Amino acid sequence: MADQDTKAPPTKRFHVVLIPGFAGFDALGQLEYYGGITPLFETGLAGNQVLHYFDNFPTAAVVTRATRLRSYLAKRIARGEIANRDEVTLVGHSTGGLDIRWLLWDLHHRKDPIVVDGGVTVEPGKILRCVRRVVFLSVPHWGTNIADWVRDQRVLRKAVVEELRAAVMGSQLLLLDQIESSIAGGAAYLTGAGVLRAVQDALSEANERNGRPSPVRKAEAHEAASELGLYLRHMASDFGAIDDLTSSPRRAGKPVSPAHLDVGERKKELKLERDIKFRSYVTLGRRPFRFDPGRPAPPWELAKPWTYPEIIKDAALSAGTDIAYRICYRACAGGPFQQPVPRGKVTRRLRGAPQHALEVWDNDGIVNTLSMLWPKGENVLVPGDHMDIVGQYKAIEADRGGGRKYRAYDLLKSESGFGEKIFKEVWKEIFAFCLGRARPDQAHGAGGRR
């Protein structure tokens, strides 16, 4: 008869860590970065899988962001939330994918343990042994033209951030809040831009007079204002991610961004990660302009009005798109980005994905599509813009009691064909991959969120 005091070995768990992109947050007030992911997770997976939402500094340098991610994982291990037999999949969107790459690079080269929780040490190799899979979503592995463009508009960028900070500081004053909201709301109405509706909602949520009055609503408004204020403060103090996302680095010496590794360093990186399985989802937005095939698009220069998006847009191709998408697409189309070497190839196209060859100016509104092709694993081409794949592809109304009108938006209205069906297909594939299963129909049951 077996010893009744003998404990059965714990069940191996599969951890999925969702890492945000440039914006950095998990949730800002009621606005979730990864929108609508948890319901899909709960309905389609095994009970031994755990979903983690990680929040990072919004616009900090990749090294800073990767260090925060390293501490997050070390704490989960030190506290027993991730056990020795468990497997971890890191899912990174946009800049979040660069954070993952730098994390892995750092862990392979780091000799000292990571110290967390006042003195507990976690060896770098222990984290590495847990990370078994990586999913890249619209990641600029070789940088993106829009980062070069934003870097060159330093004065304009600073003015926008300071204006938003001033609006947040005044969000508790009803008159000022109404003025700011009216400006954002009017612009949203005139342009149809979902991103402006999100700005309006953020200001409204931070005003305790919006929504159903209650002590809870007042506390939530103060919390939302504090979160938004801190978020913008981070942006004002550290915008290093822009330099790390450029396709033409200006820093001399050793690169500090995975986007700027040379060919030899990339080969070394891939060799170090030979035990990790990769899958990349490569987003391709609708073309609102006509550029010559086989040639780079001319850069958008503010000093040259004839290069402006609204002047060179194609009426037929751009129909249904909003001004936010056209501006972002135009800034991303022209610039120093070139054909990456080495790069991966498109191995599969989802239904509705264009069949044409990818041009150097093709992008999803934020990242040049060719920059997303990773040399290892499967590269799946998805018809959609940069924010579609994380659930920001349509406006979804929020609880009106919270002062916010929407909890999800079509942040870049690209009319690329992305919808609920593709969203569910992509994320069911991702969760099946996280379990080590080839097909979504092999995964069933329920999971939990941490």
* Structural domain includes residue 195: yes
Q: Supply the pLDDT for residue 442.
A: 54
* Structural domain includes residue 21: no
* Structural domain includes residue 186: yes
Structure tokens at 45: 């997976």
269-275: list long-range contacts, CB under 8 Å, 24+ apart.
269/101, 269/104, 269/105, 270/375, 270/376, 272/104, 272/105, 272/108, 273/104, 273/376, 275/132
Q: Which residues contact 388 (CB under 8 A, 6 or more apart)?
A: 283, 382, 412, 414, 416, 418, 423
Task: Count Cβ atoms below 10 Å from residue 368 Cβ, excluding itself.
Answer: 26
pLDDT less than 50: residues of the chain: 1-5, 171-192, 443-450
* Structural domain includes residue 204: yes
Length of the chain: 450
CA dihedral 316, 319, 323, 326 (to 10 degrees): -50
Range of the domain at 169: 152-240
Q: Supply the pLDDT for residue 253.
A: 64
Q: Supply the pLDDT for residue 240.
A: 79
Q: Supply the pLDDT for residue 167.
A: 54
Q: Supply the pLDDT for residue 181.
A: 46
Number of domains present in the structure of the chain: 1
What gap in Å lies between CA 198 and CA 179, rounded to an integer? 16
**CB-facing half-sphere around the CA of 443: CA atoms within 13 A:** 27
Q: Supply the pLDDT for residue 248.
A: 84
Q: Supply the pLDDT for residue 193.
A: 52
What gap in Å lies between CA 206 and CA 221, rounded to an integer? 4
Q: Which residues contact 6 (CB under 8 A, 6 or more apart)?
A: none
Number of helices (H), then strands (E), belonging to the chain: the values are 14, 14
* Structural domain includes residue 212: yes
Structure tokens at 130: 């847990």
* Structural domain includes residue 187: yes
Residue with tokens 């794949």: 389
* Structural domain includes residue 192: yes
What gap in Å lies between CA 412 and CA 394, rounded to an integer? 9
The model's pTM is 0.87
Task: Count Cβ atoms below 10 Å from residue 56 Cβ, excluding itself.
Answer: 26
* Structural domain includes residue 46: no
